[in-house]
Amino acid sequence: MSKLKKIPKARNEDEEREFWANSDSTEYVNWNKSQPVSLPKLKPSTKTISLRLPESILAEIKMIANKRDVPYQSLIKIFLKERIDSELKHSA
C-alpha cells in the first residue's frame, strides 16, 4: 500500500465536513487496521433556534409533555422527528 496522505487540520466542523465529503478516505486512513469503537455518550450536535408559537399551541404541548413526564422541548423534538420520518417515508 502506498504512503497515506496527512489529514489536514480543519478550522471548524463545517470545513472538516466539507473535506470528508469531497475526499477519498482510503487515501488518508488504512481501513484494514481499523477497529470498532463505541461512543455511548455521543450526542448529536444541536443548534439553538427561536420559534414563535401561538400561546395556545405551546400550552397544549406543555400539557401533553406533563402527562408524558418529559420536558416540553424534548416532546417538540420527538413530534418533529416523527413527522419528518413520516414525510420522508411517503415521499419515497
DSSP string, 26-43: GGT--GGG------TT--
Q: Are residues 21 and 52 in the same domain?
A: no
Same domain for 53 and 89, yes or no, is: yes
Task: Decide if 13 contacts 45 (C-beta within 8 A).
Answer: yes
pLDDT of the residue at 66: 97
User: pLDDT tens digit string along 12-62?
Assistant: 999 999 999 999 999 999 999 999 999 888 888 889 999 999 999 999 999
Number of domains observed in the structure of the chain: 2
pLDDT number for residue 43:
86
38 lies in some domain: no
pLDDT for res 44: 84
Q: What is the reported pTM? A: 0.55
d(CA 70, CA 64): 9
Residue 42 within any structural domain of the chain:
no
Confidence at residue 1, expressed as pLDDT on a 0 to 100 scale: 53
